[in-house]
A and B are shown apart, each in its own frame.
Chain A
Amino acid sequence: MSEPPKEPVKYVEANVRLPYHYVAGDYRARYLRALKDKKILGSKCSKTGKVFVPPLVASPESFAPAEDLVEVADRGVMTTFCIVRIPVIGRNVELPYVAASVALDGADISIFALIQECKPEDVRMGMRVEAVWKPDGERQGDHEDILYFRPTGEPDVPPASFLNRL
Chain B
Amino acid sequence: MKRPVAVVGVGQTQHASRRSDLSIPGLVREAVDRALADAGLDYGDIDAVVMGKAPDQLEGVMQPEQFLAGALGAHLKPLIRVHTAGSVGASTALAAVTHVASGLFDRVLTVAWEKQSEGNAMWALSPNLPFTPPLVAGAGGFFAPYCRAYMARTGCPPHIGPMVAANARANGGRNEYAHLREPMTVEDVLQSPVLWDPIRYLETCPSSDGACALVVASEEQAKKGPRKPAWVKAGYSYAEAMWVPGRDQVSPQAGRLCAQKVYEKAGIKDPWKEIQTVEMYVPFAWFEPMWLENLGFCDTGEGWKIVERGEQKMGAHLPVNPSGGVLCTNPIGASGMLRLGEAALQVMGRAGEHQVEGVHNALGHAYGGGAQYFAIWLVSDAL
List of A residues within 8 angstroms of B243 by Cβ: 52, 56, 60, 109
B143 to chain A, nearest CB (A): 8
List of A residues within 8 angstroms of B76 by Cβ: none
Which residue of chain A is the closest to B141 with respect to CB atoms?
A84
List of B residues within 8 angstroms of A165 by Cβ: 245-246
- The residue that B196 contacts in the complex, of A85, A108, A143, with Cβ under 8 A, is A85
In the assembled complex, the Cα of A86 lies from the Cα of B144 at a distance in Å of: 13
List of A residues within 8 angstroms of B238 by Cβ: none
Residue B155 lies at the interface, judged by CB distance under 8 Å to chain A: no
Asked if residues A114 and B135 are in contact (CB atoms below 8 Å), the reply is: yes
List of A residues within 8 angstroms of B145 by Cβ: 80-82, 99-101, 166
In the assembled complex, the Cα of A90 lies from the Cα of B137 at a distance in Å of: 10
User: Which secondary structure dominates where chain A touches chain B?
Assistant: loop
A7 to chain B, nearest CB (A): 13
In the assembled complex, the Cα of A20 lies from the Cα of B131 at a distance in Å of: 13
List of A residues within 8 angstroms of B199 by Cβ: 82
Residue A154 lies at the interface, judged by CB distance under 8 Å to chain B: no
Residue A6 lies at the interface, judged by CB distance under 8 Å to chain B: no
List of A residues within 8 angstroms of B153 by Cβ: 163
B235-267 Cβ-contact flags toward A at 8 Å (1 or 0): 000000111111111100000000000000000
A86-109 Cβ-contact flags toward B at 8 Å (1 or 0): 111111000010011100000011
List of A residues within 8 angstroms of B60 by Cβ: 14, 16
- The residue that A89 contacts in the complex, of B20, B126, B195, with Cβ under 8 A, is B126
Residue B67 lies at the interface, judged by CB distance under 8 Å to chain A: no
List of A residues within 8 angstroms of B245 by Cβ: 50, 52, 61, 108-109, 164-165
Residue A64 lies at the interface, judged by CB distance under 8 Å to chain B: no
Interface size class of A (residues with CB under 8 A): 35 or more
A23 to chain B, nearest CB (A): 9
List of A residues within 8 angstroms of B196 by Cβ: 82-86, 99
Which residue of chain A is the closest to B247 with respect to CB atoms?
A166
Which residue of chain B is the closest to A31 with respect to CB atoms?
B131
Please judge, given known A-B contacts A61-B245, A86-B138, A89-B126, whether A10 and B20 are in contact too, CB under 8 Å. Answer: yes
Asked if residues B137 and A28 are in contact (CB atoms below 8 Å), the reply is: no
Residue B43 lies at the interface, judged by CB distance under 8 Å to chain A: no
A125 to chain B, nearest CB (A): 6
In the assembled complex, the Cα of A32 lies from the Cα of B133 at a distance in Å of: 12
Residue A37 lies at the interface, judged by CB distance under 8 Å to chain B: no
Residue A1 lies at the interface, judged by CB distance under 8 Å to chain B: no
- A11-32 CB contacts (< 8 Å) to partner B: 11, 14, 16, 20, 22, 24, 28, 32
Query: Which of B131, B134, B137, B147 has the most A CB atoms < 10 Å from its CB?
Result: B131
B245 to chain A, nearest CB (A): 4
List of A residues within 8 angstroms of B152 by Cβ: 80, 125, 159, 163
Asked if residues B149 and A88 are in contact (CB atoms below 8 Å), the reply is: no
Asked if residues B194 and A85 are in contact (CB atoms below 8 Å), the reply is: yes
Which residue of chain A is the closest to B144 with respect to CB atoms?
A82
In the assembled complex, the Cα of A96 lies from the Cα of B198 at a distance in Å of: 13
Which residue of chain B is the closest to A78 with respect to CB atoms?
B145
List of A residues within 8 angstroms of B123 by Cβ: 89
- A135-166 CB contacts (< 8 Å) to partner B: 142-144, 159, 163-166
In the assembled complex, the Cα of A85 lies from the Cα of B241 at a distance in Å of: 29
Asked if residues A99 and B246 are in contact (CB atoms below 8 Å), the reply is: no
Asked if residues A87 and B195 are in contact (CB atoms below 8 Å), the reply is: no
In the assembled complex, the Cα of A88 lies from the Cα of B136 at a distance in Å of: 6
Asked if residues B133 and A91 are in contact (CB atoms below 8 Å), the reply is: yes
List of A residues within 8 angstroms of B141 by Cβ: 82, 84, 86, 88, 99
In the assembled complex, the Cα of A14 lies from the Cα of B244 at a distance in Å of: 40
Which residue of chain B is the closest to A124 with respect to CB atoms?
B152
A158 to chain B, nearest CB (A): 12
- The residue that B134 contacts in the complex, of A11, A90, A166, with Cβ under 8 A, is A90
List of A residues within 8 angstroms of B197 by Cβ: 82-85, 96, 120
List of B residues within 8 angstroms of A28 by Cβ: 131
A20 to chain B, nearest CB (A): 8
Given contacts A88-B135, A114-B135, 14 further A-B contacts (CB under 8 A): A28-B131, A61-B245, A79-B149, A82-B196, A89-B122, A89-B123, A91-B135, A96-B197, A99-B196, A125-B149, A142-B131, A143-B132, A164-B245, A166-B250
A-B contact pairs, 23 of them (CB 8 A): A14-B60, A28-B131, A32-B131, A56-B243, A60-B241, A61-B245, A80-B146, A80-B152, A82-B136, A83-B194, A84-B137, A85-B194, A85-B196, A86-B137, A89-B123, A89-B128, A90-B134, A99-B141, A99-B145, A108-B246, A114-B133, A163-B149, A166-B248
Shortest 7 CB-CB contacts between residues of A and residues of B:
A82-B144, A83-B197, A60-B241, A108-B245, A22-B130, A80-B145, A164-B246
